[in-house]
Structure formats: C-alpha cells, structure tokens
Amino acid sequence: MDSKLLDILACPLCKGPLQYAKAQQLLICRADRLAYPIRDGIPVMLEDEARTLEPMDPLLKD
C-alpha cells in the first residue's frame, strides 16, 4: 500500500487513523476495532464490508 495513500485515508466512521496490516491485506481502525479489507490493491472502506475485531485480537496490538 502506498504510504501517501495511507496518510490520507481515515476510518469512515470515526475519521481516525488506520494501520496497515500487510500480511492480512487489511486496514485497521483501533478506535472502532474494525478491519477494512484491501481487494486487488484497493481499500474497501465500507462499514458493511468491515470485520469487527475482538478486544484481544492480535491485529489490535502495537
């Protein structure tokens, strides 16, 4: 994922920053505990497409 794109993308719900999980091809919003998929290099920033993460999910760790 292009770092310039990551700098301007924000969570569509809380407008907070996103973390890129390269191995899983996800964008993570820690505040909302959501994982947005990246398909064919394109972030899918739709709430309906996001996966809710459990509080202890390893993707939420630093």
Q: What ranges do the domains of the chain cover? A: 3-55
Secondary-structure class of domain 3-55 per CATH: mainly beta
DSSP 49: G
Length of the chain: 62
What pLDDT, on the 0 to 100 scale, is given for residue 62? Answer: 65
| CA 35 – CA 30 distance, rounded (Å) | 9
Flag residues of the chain having pLDDT under 70: 62
What pLDDT, on the 0 to 100 scale, is given for residue 32? Answer: 96
What pLDDT, on the 0 to 100 scale, is given for residue 3? Answer: 84
